[in-house]
Each structure stands twice: as structure tokens, then as C-alpha cells.
Structure 1
Amino acid sequence: MQENEARKTGSHAAGQGKFALVEIRLPVALTFAALVGGLGAGIVGGLAGAPEDVTKIAGLVGGWWLKALQMTIIPLVAALLVLGLVQMIHAARVGKVAQRMIAIMVAVQLAGGAFTSVFMPMLLAAFPVPQGAEAFLANSPKDVGKVPEVLDFLATLVSPNVVAAAAETAMLPLTLFFVMFAVAITRLPEVEGERLLGFFHALGNAMLLIIGWVLAAAPVGVLALAYGVGVQSGGGAFAALGHYVVTVTLMGTFIFLLAYLVAAVLGGKGLFGFARALLPAQAVALSTQSSLASLPAMLDSAGRLGLRPATAEFVLPLAVVIFRATSAAMNLAVVYYIAALAGVEVAPSVAIAGILIASIISLSAVSLPGSISFVVSIGPIALAMGVPVEPLALLVAVEMLPDLMRTLGNVTMNVAVTSAVDRGAETAHAAT
């Protein structure tokens, strides 16, 4: 049964080949150097009394780049939501093994989001954001921080005009609309569904090309933005970045540890044996920072754990495509960090909405480079929770550090979920 399901999934994936998304990359090392250089130049300029016009020009250049980055968020998220959700719905239709896998994935994302929503504010209360970090909000609107009433919040869940919602960057009604749109596509005749999917693939590719051009200029944009931050914050900016990296990484560590619990409780694997079998895959994950590049090593780890090849060859490739276990937890952590910077109080209703949107986007966003998924995945969550997105333009420059935990947690959880699916399928087979 599992081998048949794997063949069906493979055929479906092959059919998706004509809709492949373009690949783009952020010049990571150069962008990080621009961040450090811009902050350093800003600190020196502030101490030396550099002309105010220099700061204004830097703010203008950085603002252009930031706005160019923001303008792609809504259309790209719309395309990726529809494509990812349709892909996940098709996968769920393959059979009970796929349904079990998706159920575990959803539970992991919700658990990660809930953990971050509870513990990230507590962590930031115990270890506050360093002084001077407020300078990261220099390009943010001044009217953030208003906490909506529960009824007002619920009233925003549905918009009578999706175009107006997009113009207002109202992510809650937009997300709900595109979830329903994706489900509707799967109910259409095949020809009509393929036409709509073709449109969203073309839209996604066009937006990715634009964001690729924008990210190619990231060193210039980040240098300009960082200069203004350095002038205002002094050395506090470097302390804030280090504080940010540590706190966000800790939220991802929860998912990493949760993977061992999933393997032990749901997969029936001993902790020591699971840890030993995962070491090669984890080494590849840390060296490549790519779940896709770690796939052969994950398959090898699954074999070391005694998982059936049919299960591993079905679950792991699909997990690489539609499952990023750490995303909900770490993406929400970024949003909560910016909320702390901006003094935004996150109400319980808003926190719940953030968990749901973070989980939906994490499970539906097709595989993209980390720098792209950072902006595309976190931007909508921040917008939905009333948190400014502008600091993302600088935080993306240090994403390569938390990304180590993202990849490590994703790879470990992928194999843990595979062990749980394999055990569940074996139990179901024995019962019949």
C-alpha cells in the first residue's frame, strides 16, 4: 500500500515539474558584511558628528530598498499559499499514510507556535532587549502598538473586498480567502484547476524574479539602513543583534528537542539509538544549511533506525517540500522580538491568530531559500499581529545564524515524523 502511495506521490510531483519556481539567492556574506560595516560607520559617524544630510540620504536609499522588498509580499504570499495548500491537499488524498503524516506535521507546527507565544514573552521579560535596539524601528510607522478589542479583532477576520484587504495589507482576511481559494481549486475540473495553478505559478515566478532583483541590491540597502541604526543606537545595535540571535534560536531548540520526544513516544525509538542514527544527517544539515541537500543523509538515518524503505522514500521527500518544522516557532519568535522592540502588546486573540497564520504559511509555503522564506513567511505574520515589518530588512542579514538551528531542527523532526508514520502504518497493518 505504501509503495503504491509513493508511486502516486512521485507521479504528482513529476506533474508539478512544469510549474517549478525560479531559484534566487541572497548574497549572504556580502549582506552580513554590509550590516556590520553600516553599523560601524554609523557609530563612528554619530560620535564624530557626521552631517545630518548623510543620515538622511542613507535613510532615503534604505527606504527605497525596504519598500521594494515590501511590495512583493502580498502577491508572493498569495501565490505560495495557493500552490502550497493545493499541493498539501493532493498529498492528503493519496492515502492514510499521507494523512497521518500531515496530521503530525500540523500538530508540530501548532505546538511550536504555542510554545513560542507563551515562552518568548517570558524570555524577553527576564532578559530584556538591550538599550538602543529601538533604532531598528527608525523606518517603521509611528502608530503601532494599538491593541484591538476582541470583537473588533473578530470583525476583521472576513473582508467584503479582497482587493481592499490587500491594499490595507490585512493578512487575516487575505489568508482566509486564499485558503478557501486553494480548497476550491481542488474541487474544480482538472483542466480549470490546472489553468488557475498555472496562473499562480507564473505569478509566483514573476514575484520571485522581482524579489531576486531587490535582494541582489541587499548589500546597498542594508548598508544604508544599518548606517542610520548605528547613528541612533551606538554599540547597542550589536548587542541587540546578538540578543536576537540567541533568543530566536532558543525557540527553535524546542522543536529540535521535541523531535526526540516524537521519535520516542510516537515512533517507539530509543533516545540514544535515535540520536546516534541522526548524527550523520545532522552533520550534513549544519554544513549545508539545506534540508534538501540533507535528504540522502536522512534516508540513510531512516535505514539505520530500521524504518521501512517504502515509508522513508514516501515521507521524507514530501516532508522536505511541504514541512519546515521550526518555522512556526522561530518565525513567531522573530515577530515577538520586533513586538518587544516596538512596545506592541500582543493580546491573546492576536496571539492565537498569529499561531494559526504561522502554521498555515509554514505548511503551505513551497521550498524557498532561507532569505526569501524569512521575508515571505514572517512578513504576513507580523502584519496580521499589528507588528511592524520594517526591521526584517536588517534582521535578514543575520538569518544565516538562526538558520543553523532551523535546518538542524527541520532535519531531525523530518526523520522523527517518518518514524512515527512508519510505526502507525505498521500498527494499522497488524490490526488488519
Structure 2
Amino acid sequence: MGEDGGAMALPPIAQVPATWTFLGLVGGLVGGLLIAFAAPQALPLVETWVQPVGEMWLRALQATIVPLVAALLFTGVTQTLATASAGAVARRSLGLFLLVLAFSAGMALLVTPALIALLPIPADAGEALRQTLSGKDAGPVPGVAEFLRSIVPTNVIDAAANDRMLPLILFVSVFALAVSRLKGPQRDVMTTFFAALASAMLVVIGWVLALAPFGVFALSLAVAAQSGTAVIGALAHYILIVVLTGTVVFLAGYVVAVALARKPLGAFARAMLPVQTFALSTQSSLASLPVMLGACRDLRVHESTSEFVMPLAVALFRATSPAMNLAVAIYVAHLYGIAVPPLMMVAGGLVAILVSLSSVSLPGSISFVASVGPIAIAMGVPVEPLALLVAVEMLPDLMRTLGNVTMDVAVTAAVDARLKPD
């Protein structure tokens, strides 16, 4: 699962196992390579009949991003505000969560470009994917003055219609803050409306993603038929870069445990082994909650702290989300040869933090689209490659879950260390 589950109640969502989508990718790549090398005369048929099917599915996927993110962001902001009002421990936990999320985003902005410079993207991959998935080069990136003017929308409906994600996210966040100041009945009406909108959009995107094996098959077959083996090299390279970026956050969990929680490194590592083993087998922080509570007991964290902070972390906090989601957007930018200005990189980081708080409860590939799509749009990066990258998300997701459970336990122990005397 892309953000490995959460606590918010979800409607029944049409989902297919990630392995089916992955098999659709593999089948498309194999079929495309056979056409490229054994039957190149069939390429016009692929472009006429197969590629449009994949593009229709891709358009349906893109159509869900804006309304889904707006609804989830509203509910995420209101849920975070409600948690902050629960007391000093909740506020301290949220503060540490935000600090770690900011670190996570910062690491992606620094580490991912450095990794790509050290391990360059295969030269022909960018051109092949760009021509196959979008049919045209990405548009020009706005300058600093234009970017600053665009932050505050003159018409939020127009911003949504034109996929200007940063002003839309800022408006929805401010609107959610304003709703939180309303009296009870009015606040409840708005909260219920956006919760219902989020639930309905989740059903819609679930229907779209239920067709993912067919859509991914069509897209990957067209890409492989036109680009040959370049797409395979690009996907393998992408997985490596994103996993390495997430590894930085994973290792930072041990630093938090030692520096902030004041736990011996060896003791923390031993306590985490069963948690990490269970997390890798389930790919779910929620399912790992009992084992994480056991690790907290082994580390002598007060039960009153762990039983409050740990479920809160599972519900709101995903340490690897900003880093790995930003890494995806940065990778796509390099793939398309887009030089994203520093201000737009920072904007992408802010969006990554905000979206991570609102999408942690989403299952599977839904979370990948809902989390990475807004970041890419805010940075002026094409979202078309996400339709293929979602098919291999089951592999980077192992590092997501590993880093999340490690940081969950570390942060819980750090909060406990601040509550008791040395």
C-alpha cells in the first residue's frame, strides 16, 4: 500500500492487487519489446489502437487529482487542528511530526538531485517516455515574479481548472482554518460535506485504478514498442533513486532515537528488528501497530505515552512521504529535462508536507497518485509518467514502510523522553 494504511474510515474502494498492475506492466513491456525487435511493422497498429486506450485511462486518472486532493486536504487540516487541541502531549507530538516531515522534504531537495548527478538517468529514456506519454515537450517553467504572483489566486475555481495546485492548496488550507473557527453546527456541516466529497472521489479513483492493469499494459506496450529497452532502464533507475532517497529518512530514525530519545543505538536496533520484519511482510504501518507498541515497551517508553502517540503517528505521520514523493517529482523533472527554479522546488516541498498529512489513510496506488500528483503540478512537472511509475510502486513501498515504522517508534520515544526527567 502506497502510504501503508491509516485510521480514517474509508468507503468500499474497488482495488486490484498491486501485483496485477505490475504484471500488466511486465506484459506490456514484453509485448512492446517483441514488436520493437521482431515485428516493427506492427507499430502503426499499436499507435492507432493500443496507445489511445492507455491515454484514455491516463486522462481519467488525471481528472481525479484536483477534487480528491482538495477534499482530503480539507479533512486533513481539520483533523490536525482537532488533534492539536487535545492537549500538550498532542501538540508536542504534532510539532515533532512536522519537524521530521520538513527534514524529510529537505533531504529530497538535496539528496535526490545529487543522486541523479552521481547516477545519471539513461540518456535515451527521457526522450522515449516524453514522446510516448505526452507527445510533446513540457511547457516553460514560470519565472520567479510570475511564480510569486501565482501563489495567491484571483479565482480559485480558475486555479483548480488550470491545475495550479499550489494556490489551490493554500486556499483550501486557509478555508479549512476558517471553518475550524465556525460554531459547532456550521463547522460540522462543512466537515461532513468535505468528508463525503473525499469518500465519493475515493470511490471514483478506485474505479479508475481497478482498470490499472489494462491501462498500464496499454501504456507500457506503446512505450516499449517505440523506445525499446530504454523504458526498462528508466524504471530500474527510478526505483534505485527513490529507494536511496527514502533510505536517508530511514537512517535518520536511528539518529532521532539516539539524539532525541536518548536510547542506546544497539538497544534501539534490536527492538526494531521484529517491527521491521513484520512491516516488510505486511507493508502496513497500521498492521504493525501492535509490534511497534511492543518495541516501545522494550525501550522502556511509558505506556501512557506510547498508547497515545503511536496511534496518532499511524493516523497522521508518514516520515518517508515527503522525501520519496518529492523524489518522484524531481526524477520526472530530470527525465524531461526541466530545470525547476529553487522557489518552485521549495513550493513542491511545502505541498509534499501538506499532502502527506492529508493522504496517509489512502490505500495502495490511490495514495501514490493523490500524493505525487499535486507535487508534480506545483513544480510544473508532467504527471503523465505517474501512470507507469505507479505500477512499480510496490518496490519503493517496501522502503516507505520500513522508514515509517522506524521513525514512528523513534519519535514516540523522543516525545516520551521530553515528558519525563532524566
- Specify if TM > 0.5: yes
Give yes or no for the alignment of 1:108 onto 2:117. Answer: no
Give yes or no for the alignment of 1:136 onto 2:129. Answer: yes
Give 1:247 deviation, angstroms. Answer: 0.6
Aligned counterpart in structure 1 of residue 221 of structure 2, from 196, 217, 227: 227
Mapped to 2, the partners of 1:268 and 1:190 lie a distance apart of 42
Aligned counterpart in structure 2 of residue 36 of structure 1, from 14, 22, 26: 26
Give yes or no for the alignment of 1:334 onto 2:324. Answer: no
* 2:11–2:203 contact (8 Å) kept in structure 1: no
Mapped to 2, the partners of 1:250 and 1:105 lie a distance apart of 22
User: Percent identity among equivalent residues?
Assistant: 52
Give yes or no for the alignment of 1:63 onto 2:37. Answer: no
Counterpart secondary structure, 1:367: coil
Aligned counterpart in structure 1 of residue 337 of structure 2, from 303, 318, 343: 343
Show the 5 A alignment for 1:17-166.
Answer: 20-47=10-37, 48-49=39-40, 50-134=42-126, 135-137=128-130, 138-140=132-134, 142-144=136-138, 146-166=140-160
Mapped to 2, the partners of 1:25 and 1:254 lie a distance apart of 31
* 2:365–2:393 contact (8 Å) kept in structure 1: yes
Alignment CA distance shift 1:89-1:22 (3 Å): farther
Where does structure 1 lack aligned partners over 5 or more consecutive residues? 1-12
Alignment CA distance shift 1:366-1:409 (3 Å): closer
In structure 1, give the amino acid aligned to 2:306. A
Where does structure 2 lack aligned partners over 5 or more consecutive residues? 1-5
Give yes or no for the alignment of 1:384 onto 2:378. Answer: yes
* 1:285–1:408 contact (8 Å) kept in structure 2: yes
1:264-318 per-position Cα deviation (integer Å, ceiling 9, x unaligned): 1111111110110111111110000001000010011011100011111101111
- Displacement over 6 Å in runs of 4+: none
* 1:140–1:389 contact (8 Å) kept in structure 2: no
Aligned pairs, how many?
413
Mapped to 1, the partners of 2:379 and 2:135 lie a distance apart of 15
Mapped to 1, the partners of 2:27 and 2:323 lie a distance apart of 30
Look up the match of 1:245: 239
Look up the match of 1:3: none
In structure 1, give the amino acid aligned to 2:82. H
Aligned counterpart in structure 2 of residue 212 of structure 1, from 206, 209, 220: 206
In structure 2, give the amino acid aligned to 1:203. L
* 1:24–1:369 contact (8 Å) kept in structure 2: no
* 1:106–1:363 contact (8 Å) kept in structure 2: no
* 1:22–1:205 contact (8 Å) kept in structure 2: no
Give 1:53 deviation, angstroms. Answer: 2.2
Which structure is higher in RCO with an 8 Å CA cutoff and minimum separation 6?
2
Normalised by the size of structure 2, how large is the TM-score?
A: 0.95
In structure 1, give the amino acid aligned to 2:386. L
In structure 2, give the amino acid aligned to 1:380. P
Give 1:152 deviation, angstroms. Answer: 1.1
1:186-233 per-position Cα deviation (integer Å, ceiling 9, x unaligned): 111111111111111111111111111111111110000001110122
Mapped to 2, the partners of 1:91 and 1:238 lie a distance apart of 44
1:367-403 per-position Cα deviation (integer Å, ceiling 9, x unaligned): 1113111000000000000000000011000000000
In structure 2, give the amino acid aligned to 1:250. L
Alignment root-mean-square deviation, CA: 1.6
Mapped to 1, the partners of 2:418 and 2:100 lie a distance apart of 16
1:335-382 per-position Cα deviation (integer Å, ceiling 9, x unaligned): 011011111101111111111110111123241113111000000000
Mapped to 2, the partners of 1:336 and 1:26 lie a distance apart of 28
* 1:27–1:218 contact (8 Å) kept in structure 2: no
Mapped to 1, the partners of 2:16 and 2:339 lie a distance apart of 32
In structure 2, give the amino acid aligned to 1:73. I
Mapped to 2, the partners of 1:24 and 1:284 lie a distance apart of 26
Give 1:404 deviation, angstroms. Answer: 0.2
1:245-267 per-position Cα deviation (integer Å, ceiling 9, x unaligned): 11100110011111111111111
Aligned counterpart in structure 1 of residue 171 of structure 2, from 162, 177, 182: 177
Give yes or no for the alignment of 1:425 onto 2:419. Answer: yes
Look up the match of 1:188: 182
Look up the match of 2:3: none
Mapped to 2, the partners of 1:357 and 1:257 lie a distance apart of 24
Mapped to 2, the partners of 1:242 and 1:143 lie a distance apart of 23
Mapped to 2, the partners of 1:340 and 1:143 lie a distance apart of 13
Counterpart secondary structure, 2:176: helix
In structure 2, give the amino acid aligned to 1:100. R
Give 1:145 deviation, angstroms. Answer: 5.2
